[in-house]
Amino acid sequence: MSRDAIPVTVLSGSLGAGKTTLLNRLLRTADRDVAVLVNDMGEVNVDAALVSGSSELDVDDGVAELSNGCICCELQDDLDTAVVRLARNRDFDHLVVESSGISEPEPVARLFTTGSRAAALYEVDSLVTVVDARLFFDTFGGDDTVERRGTDGDDTRPLSDLLVEQVEFSNLVVLNKRDLLSTTELDTVEELVRTLRPDAVILRSEFGRVDPDELLSRGLYDPATAAEAAGWRQALEEDGTLANGDEHGHGHDGHDHTHPDEMYGVTSFVYRRRRPFHPGRLDAFLSSLPDSVVRSKGTCWVAGNDQQQVLGQAGPSVRVEAGAPWVASLPELDQQLYRSNRKSLEWDDEWGDRKTELVFIGQSMEEERLVAALDDCLLTDAEMEREWTFEDRFADEQGEDVVVAEP
């Protein structure tokens, strides 16, 4: 970190996880001057008022607030202006940006790492996510179907999506409200978090009690690898050498898997095939995923659809977005140009780049049953020979998505 750059901690977490309680304790106990920017979706920024009472800095200089919007999207310009103003009045050693309960940390961090005014003054130290451990276990770790508590205030972004994404883009995770769980439940939550973000530092707390030295000046954020560290990405990369393997006698239709050495039933596996899915059967499968599947992500080849279908599932929320077109669906000259610029592109003599590649992460998953169910969604030999004119509700325009299931 540059000696003149101001270190930044981005503090995220779901509504009610305990971010403000943790931040107030941090301000009272840290051995350095900490400035704070607080974001709230409401017109009245309640958190900012609570934090101001704990800051030893002048309120005008030490606590800034952004209200009635979300700093990971519509308030980006306001965020840039606010942190530049704080730096101009610099009378602090560290900046903490507390995002609203429905914000994603990665876009906020990007502001400080791209060519903005803020990037010239600050450097991200770490992305910290405060997790309501009780809510996380009830959402993802229990054996029974449970009623989801709380709301993210936006029907298009279910709570489970944000719980997962806030963990996947964090460097340090605070498992708060540990007093509300048994030791076994808390251990399960930790293993789930570690599977979603393998390299994260994990702390346990109650009522936001965390040593400031465990949160500040950790130097955990690396912009070069931030987007690649999520567990589902690492699972695909670690399993990449098996993509075309025939170890189990499946050839291109084969699948291999990786089982992390977990003590609490948290496992992951990768499913790969060079045969397309029947759109109706895939839709039905994704609509009824078992509770044991916490997270699934990857690309699906759907028969008759020229777009890559990108699956994103977190708990009960399942969405499929149309990605870029398969290179093999492009005109011959475009294919040749694309392949000449992408020497690493895997290419099958018959199907080109078309393939399915999915990673599943969960607790006590019945892998063989899931794989068999996925295989049942593939086209049969007879269907492969016929024209692929199936009823298909998956999107065929890049960027459009379909909600398959939601809580």
**CB neighbour burial string for 351-373, b if at least 16 within 10 angstroms, e if fewer:** ebbbbbbbbbbbbebebeebbeb
Looking at 194, 227, 260, the residue that finishes a domain is 227
pLDDT per residue as tens digits for the range 356-367: 999 888 878 899
Q: Give yes or no: residues 218 and 325 share one domain.
A: no
Q: What average pLDDT score do residues 306-313 get?
A: 92
Q: Give yes or no: residues 11 and 125 share one domain.
A: yes
Q: Give yes or no: residues 21 and 163 share one domain.
A: yes
| Sign (positive or negative) of CA dihedral 85, 86, 87, 89 | positive
Looking at 227, 243, 272, the residue that finishes a domain is 227
Q: Give yes or no: residues 28 and 48 share one domain.
A: yes
Residue 260 in domain: yes
DSSP H or E stretch at residue 284: helix 279-287
Looking at 172, 196, 227, the residue that finishes a domain is 227
Q: Give yes or no: residues 24 and 114 share one domain.
A: yes
- Residues of the domain holding 326: 231-405
- Tokens 């309120």 found at: 59
pLDDT, the chain, mean = 78
Q: Give yes or no: residues 313 and 400 share one domain.
A: yes
Q: Contact at 8 Å (CB) between 123 and 6?
A: yes
Per-residue confidence (pLDDT) for residue 331, from 0 to 100: 95
CATH of the domain at 378: 3.30.1220.10
Residue 1 in domain: no
Which class for 261: exposed (0-12), middle (13-18), buried (19 or more C-beta within 10 A)? exposed
pLDDT at 156 over 50: no
* Of the candidate ranges 122-126, 146-150, 167-171, 333-337, the one whose mean pLDDT is the lowest: 146-150
Nearest alpha carbon to residue 399 among 319, 339, 337:
319
Residue 93 in domain: yes
CATH of the domain at 205: 3.40.50.300
- Tokens 């065929």 found at: 396
Higher pLDDT, 271 or 254: 271
pLDDT at 42 over 70: no
| Sign (positive or negative) of CA dihedral 104, 105, 106, 112 | positive
Q: Give yes or no: residues 98 and 182 share one domain.
A: yes
State both tokens at 206.
């109650």
